[in-house]
Amino acid sequence: MSKLGTLGHRLHRGEVSYDFVGKRKLWYGVSILITLAAIIGLAVNGLKLGIEFSGGAVFTTPKTSVSVSQAQDKISGDTAGHHATIQKLGTGGLRIQVSDIDTATSKQVQQKISADLNIPSKDINAEIVGPSWGKEISKKALQGLIIFLVLVVIYLAIAFEWRMAVAALVALLHDITITTGVYAIVGFEVSPGTVIGLLTILGYSLYDTVVVFDGLKEATRGITKQNQKTFSDVANRSLNGTLVRSINTTVVALLPVAALLFIGGGILGAGVLNDIALALFVGLTAGAYSSIFIATPIVADLKEREPQMQALRKRVLAKRASDAQKAKEAEARGEDPEAADDDADPQDGEEATASAAAGVVAPRGQGAARSSRTQPGSRGRGGRSRPSGKRR
């Protein structure tokens, strides 16, 4: 942990830097592959909607010694031709969910389940959800998601700029697609808890992205007044400065979610926790990835297309080429390349003022050039020397 803290300080001071922005094409390719896999899984398997969205019935039994696999075999063929999802509850009972059945059919299924499991029908609790109510819930959930995305874009466009708003929106859509694709591939049921988890991870992803954008906004203020770094260089430096903080925040958030998913849902068998835990686990991971590898590189791509940023890049590349040429010539003469940089011509007043405003330190040679001017002579007016020493 101490090494991680030391690395964080070195990244923040710029002593160590990883070229995230420079390798953005690689990250784009990885994200496209993951997103395509999620879309294919979604298209092939589809989402397994809970009865809250599709309508159906839920039958809850009292404590029983029948396992989930045994119950699945016993009631097979007695669920009106629909697939039954069975979960073991913490009380020892079973939760049997059958989608897309009406009230009359649910009563018949209840009688058959009672006979199959040898449990009195009156002891089985039945809850019916109509299909129209489920469609209304799905509609409201979609409307809530759209309103959320619109408000996010408006806020970021006002607080930062439209390029950052676009980048954040792409990152959020990236997280939504991956999360829903994993749901389709795994086959978990989409419940209201899933929707809650999805909105939660979108808020978390947005928070992480805003933290990165805030540092980028401060770092790039007055960037066109210097000729040392391009926008991509400064963006990468800013991203490295917040890297460890983003990783630490994500790890801390993932620990309790992993406990819910793997221990609560997997080991202890609390299946009702799986829907929200899976959405949070996948979404938090995808959100941390997108804020680092997607959002900031997209901002850099959009900003580099501006005329003033293109002019800045030309100045920076020209200066670097000039410095490299001078260093090469100094090395050919057997001189120290750093000394050659010290002897470079001083900038004119306008460039020096711009560099000072951008926080760029002037080369050491300029100070030496100014200090080497001829000092006023020792003689006074009329050519007489100023008397020195004691009077006689």
The answer to the question of residue 87 being in a domain is yes
110 shares a domain with 27:
no
Q: What is the pLDDT of residue 244?
A: 78
How many residues in the chain? 392
Q: What is the pLDDT of residue 374?
A: 41
Lowest mean pLDDT among 17-31, 72-86, 310-324: 72-86
- Residue where one domain finishes, among candidates 307, 342, 369: 307
Question: Is the per-residue pLDDT at 375 higher than 60?
Answer: no
Lowest mean pLDDT among 33-37, 46-50, 278-282, 344-348: 344-348
DSSP string over 285-303: HHHHHHIIIIIHHHHHHHH
- Report which of residues 309 and 81 the model is more confident about: 309
Question: Is the per-residue pLDDT at 35 higher than 90?
Answer: yes
Lowest mean pLDDT among 113-127, 263-277, 333-347, 374-388: 374-388
Kind and range of the H or E element at 59? strand 56-60
Q: What is the pairing mode between strands 189-190 and 84-88?
A: unpaired
Q: What is the mean pLDDT of the chain?
A: 77
247 shares a domain with 171:
yes
Question: Is the per-residue pLDDT at 121 higher than 50?
Answer: yes
Q: What is the pLDDT of residue 3?
A: 57
What's the distance, CA 309 to chain centroid?
A: 25
Residue 336's pLDDT band, with cuts at 50, 70 and 90, is: low
Question: Is the per-residue pLDDT at 357 higher than 70?
Answer: no
> What does the H/E/C string look like for 3-31?
HHHHHHHHHHHCCCCCCCCCCHHHHHHHH
Q: What is the pairing mode between strands 56-60 and 94-99?
A: antiparallel
Q: What is the pLDDT of residue 272?
A: 59
145 shares a domain with 44:
yes
**Rounded percentage of the chain residues whose pLDDT exceeds 70:** 78
User: What is the C-alpha separation between 169 and 230, in angstroms, rounded?
Assistant: 25
Q: What is the pLDDT of residue 115?
A: 87
Q: What is the pLDDT of residue 298?
A: 93
Return the beta strands (E) in the chain as ranges: 48-49, 56-60, 84-88, 94-99, 125-129, 189-190
Segment 167-192 shows an average pLDDT of 88
Number of neighbouring beta carbons within 10 Å of residue 158:
10
Q: What is the pLDDT of residue 391?
A: 42
- Residue where one domain finishes, among candidates 248, 281, 307: 307
Q: What is the pLDDT of residue 341?
A: 52
Please give the structure tokens belonging to residue 145.
């998601």
Segment 175-183 shows an average pLDDT of 90
139 shares a domain with 123:
no
Q: What is the pLDDT of residue 114?
A: 87
- Residue where one domain finishes, among candidates 107, 129, 151: 129
Q: What is the pLDDT of residue 253?
A: 85
Please give the structure tokens belonging to residue 343.
């002897």
**Sequence-distant (≥ 6) Cβ neighbours of residue 205 within 8 angstroms:** 171, 172, 175, 283, 284, 286, 287, 288, 290, 291
User: With the C-alpha atoms ordered 63, 67, 73, 77, is the resulting torsion angle positive or negative?
Assistant: positive
Segment 365-391 shows an average pLDDT of 42
Task: Name the burial class of residue 188, with classes exposed (0-12), middle (13-18) and buried (19+) by CB atoms within 10 angstroms of its CB.
Answer: buried
Q: What is the pLDDT of residue 269?
A: 53
Lowest mean pLDDT among 150-159, 202-211, 265-274: 265-274
Q: Select, from the ranges 23-37, 120-134, 209-223, the one with the highest average predicted confidence (pLDDT).
A: 23-37
Tell me how many domains the chain contains.
2
Place of tokens 């209840």: 110
The answer to the question of residue 170 being in a domain is yes
137 shares a domain with 125:
no
Which residues face 125 on adjacent strands? 60
The answer to the question of residue 352 being in a domain is no
- Report which of residues 297 and 84 the model is more confident about: 297
Q: What is the pLDDT of residue 267?
A: 60
- Report which of residues 89 and 30 the model is more confident about: 30
Residues 259-295 pLDDT 10s: 888 776 656 555 557 778 888 888 888 988 998 899 9
For 104, the domain range is: 56-129
Q: What is the pLDDT of residue 127?
A: 83
Residues 302-313 pLDDT 10s: 999 989 888 988
User: What is the C-alpha separation between 198 and 254, in angstroms, rounded?
Assistant: 15
Residue 339's pLDDT band, with cuts at 50, 70 and 90, is: low
The SS3 call for residue 315 is: helix
Q: Select, from the ranges 134-138, 234-238, 274-278, the one with the highest average predicted confidence (pLDDT).
A: 234-238
**Sequence-distant (≥ 6) Cβ neighbours of residue 201 within 8 angstroms:** 175, 179, 279, 280, 282, 283, 284, 286, 287
76 shares a domain with 42:
no
44 shares a domain with 75:
no
Residue pair 164/213 in contact by the 8 Å Cβ criterion: yes
For residue 333, which phi and psi values (nearest 5 degrees)?
-85, -5
The SS3 call for residue 248 is: helix
The answer to the question of residue 324 being in a domain is no
The answer to the question of residue 254 being in a domain is yes
Q: What is the pLDDT of residue 366?
A: 41
CATH number of the domain residue 69 falls in: 3.30.70.3400
Q: What is the pLDDT of residue 264?
A: 66
Q: What is the pLDDT of residue 265?
A: 60
